[in-house]
């Protein structure tokens, strides 16, 4: 099996293949580049690099010392720039490396089930779920969201809420006041 075989999938057009091919890994493929993030459009460049070094494509993969011998400027074209070539070499150096950041696991305080469980002074994890001109609302894991008034975002003057928090940001808040009958929670951003 190869990436080229993916083109045979019914209703998968050329554009879909072009957009997704580099995200697919074909293990134990005939072409070792099929198990890398190198896009099929760039296979020719990698093959030329290998040929210029008198090596096979397989010899290049994972061989940083060999890849450093390449002068990438020799492979620049109108359609392939130096940055693209640097990305190709990075992938060849460390094939399969996932450059995404590790996801942070987030959990609300499991002891807080309702507004009645909140106490002044508590520190809680929360997620900013709405931003307004007067502050932001924070989900602390219960039905009601708490408000961090703009004056409680910092100990100094805050002109723009967006300079301190952003939507879906994970933060720690301090409970300032709980008004159970009105279902209002006043919070302060904890540093």
The DSSP result for 48-101, as a single string, is: HHHHHTT--HHHHTT-HHHHTT--GGGG--SSS-HHHHHHHHHHHHSTT---SP
77 and 120 share one domain? no
pLDDT in tens, 14-31: 888 888 888 888 888 889
d(C-alpha 114, C-alpha 180), whole Å: 10
160 and 130 share one domain? yes
Domain that holds residue 30: 3-93
Domain final position from 93, 127, 149: 93
61 and 137 share one domain? no
In a domain, 62, yes or no: yes
Domain final position from 58, 93, 128: 93
Structure tokens at 40: 């099929």
Q: Residue 129 maps to which CATH number? A: 2.40.50.140
User: Total structural domains in the chain?
Assistant: 2
d(C-alpha 145, C-alpha 136), whole Å: 10
CA 84 to chain centre: 20
77 and 8 share one domain? yes
Q: Residue 22 maps to which CATH number? A: 1.10.150.310
69 and 126 share one domain? no
86 and 144 share one domain? no
Q: Which of 144, 138, 130, 143 is nearest to 171 (CA)?
A: 138
Structure tokens at 119: 């106490």
d(C-alpha 17, C-alpha 27), whole Å: 18
23 and 83 share one domain? yes
88 and 15 share one domain? yes
62 and 129 share one domain? no
Using the 8-state DSSP alphabet, how is residue 140 labeled? -
In a domain, 182, yes or no: yes
d(C-alpha 176, C-alpha 147), whole Å: 10
CA atoms within 13 A on the CB side of 170: 8
82 and 127 share one domain? no
In a domain, 78, yes or no: yes
In a domain, 125, yes or no: yes
According to DSSP, the residues that pair with 139 across neighbouring strands are 127, 145
* Tens digit of each residue's pLDDT, the chain (191 residues): 888 888 888 888 888 888 888 888 888 888 999 988 899 999 999 999 999 999 999 999 999 999 999 999 999 999 899 999 999 999 999 877 766 777 778 899 999 999 999 999 999 999 999 999 999 999 999 999 999 999 999 999 999 999 999 999 999 999 999 999 999 999 999 97
In a domain, 107, yes or no: no
- Rounded to the nearest 5 percent, the helix, strand and coil shares of the chain are 35, 20, 45
- Return the CA Rg of the chain: 26
In a domain, 185, yes or no: yes
Structure tokens at 138: 């924070």
Structure tokens at 160: 């723009």
């Amino acid at each position: 099996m190869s990436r080229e075989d993916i083109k045979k999938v019914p209703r998968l057009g050329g554009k879909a293949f072009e957009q997704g091919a580099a995200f697919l890994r074909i293990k134990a493929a005939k072409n070792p580049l099929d198990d890398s993030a190198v896009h099929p459009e760039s296979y020719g460049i990698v093959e030329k690099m290998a040929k210029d070094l008198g090596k096979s494509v397989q010899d290049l993969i994972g061989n940083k010392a060999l890849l450093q011998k390449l002068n990438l400027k020799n492979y620049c074209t109108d359609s392939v720039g130096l940055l693209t070539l640097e990305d190709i070499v990075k992938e060849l150096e460390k094939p399969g490396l996932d450059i995404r950041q590790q996801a942070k696991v987030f959990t609300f305080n499991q002891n807080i089930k309702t507004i009645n469980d909140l106490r002044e002074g508590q520190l809680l994890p929360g997620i900013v779920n709405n931003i307004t001109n007067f502050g932001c609302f924070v989900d602390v894991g219960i039905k009601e969201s708490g408000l961090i008034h703009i004056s409680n975002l910092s100990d100094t003057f805050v002109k723009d809420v967006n300079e301190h928090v952003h939507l879906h940001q994970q933060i720690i808040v301090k409970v300032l006041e709980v008004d159970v009958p009105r279902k209002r929670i006043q919070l302060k951003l904890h540093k």
